[in-house]
Structure 1
Amino acid sequence: MLEINYKTDIVPATAQIIELYEASGLPRPTHDTERIAAMYKNSDLIVTAWDGENLVGVSRTITDWVWSSYLADLAVNPNYKQSGIGKKLIEITREKVGEQSMVLLLSVPTAMEYYPKVGFKKEDRGFLIERSK
């Protein structure tokens, strides 16, 4: 049985975040350490999963705490897939943002089948203006 520790009181080192993103295949600007650091500095809730000293999962949320919460990132090391880490990160995120706030996200194409399995409802009312950089 895995002994995974979940934390909401620390921000991992930028290098750890980049390593996790690259391992998990999450398309983020991992070549730009300043941008990754800023993404975390400007987030409201970060939930991490640790196997000893190794960062094995993370969720990063931007929220107002009373209406909406954007789950901007969910990454799990592929060596830990199917272990419930992603589901637990979402569970802790929902608990922390509270009952008044919805949790919404944009899925990468490869995770479209995953999110309904962990409690998300597919939503077709969304709109997006893509970033230019």
Structure 2
Amino acid sequence: MNIAFQDSKDIDKEQVMKLYNDVGWYAYTKDASTLNNALRASLDVISAWDGEELVGLIRVVGDGLTILYIQDILVLNAYQNQGVATQLMEQVMQKYEHVRQKVLLTEEASDVRHFYEKNGFASCDKGSLVAFAKLEG
């Protein structure tokens, strides 16, 4: 497997839909136009490619100076547990190493928790931080 990475928001809409649907993120794919606009409005999008196939991406929002929010990180099921997500995360962490606050919000699951902790994130249920979220819909 030879994965190539691209730092571009210009990604084929059909491939984006396939990726999000493959991982079950249907809240995003019920409105393809909004998803496409969200990608374009993001601070950064780094994608992973196996030849011509989109196999993963990481999307970040924020100002890129004081706050960075990892909005999406996803990898096709067939490519999971092969280091693709880790490589995507490493690229973002290197590119934005100067940013003090790096934040993300995700569902609770042991494998998810392990992934983020091995990448240097600490859960807000441990330590002195508190997190709040208001989700609509």
Given the two structures, how large is their TM-score scaled by the length of structure 2?
0.87
Moved over 6 A (4+): none
In structure 2, how many angstroms separate the alpha carbons of the residues matched to 1:53 and 1:62? 26
> What is the rounded CA distance, in whole Å, between the counterparts of 2:118 and 2:23 in structure 1?
19
Q: Percent identity?
A: 26
Q: Distance in 2 between matches of 1:23 and 1:9?
A: 21
Partner in structure 1 of residue 66 of structure 2: 67
Report what 1:122 is aligned to.
123
Q: How many positions carry a matched residue from both structures?
A: 131
Please tell me the residue identity of whatever aligns with 1:34: S
Confirm or deny that 1:80 pairs with 2:85.
no
Specify the SS of the correspondent of 2:29. Answer: coil
8 Å Cα contact 2:13/2:36 also seen in 1 = yes
Supply the distance in 1 between the matched residues of 2:93 and 2:27 (Cα, whole angstroms): 23
Distance in 1, matches of 2:100 and 2:44, equals 13
Q: Which runs of 5+ in 1 are unaligned?
A: none
- CA deviations 1:72-93 (Å, max 9, x no partner) are 0000011111111101101111
Partner letter of residue 98 of structure 1? E
1:93 aligns to 2:98 (yes or no) = no
Whole-Å separation in 1 of the counterparts to 2:15 and 2:108? 24
Structure 2 residues without counterparts, runs of 5 or longer: none
1:66 touches 1:98 (CA, 8 Å); kept in 2? no
**RMSD of aligned alpha carbons:** 1.6
Partner SS, residue 46 of structure 1: strand
Question: How far has the Cα of 1:103 moved from its partner?
Answer: 1.7
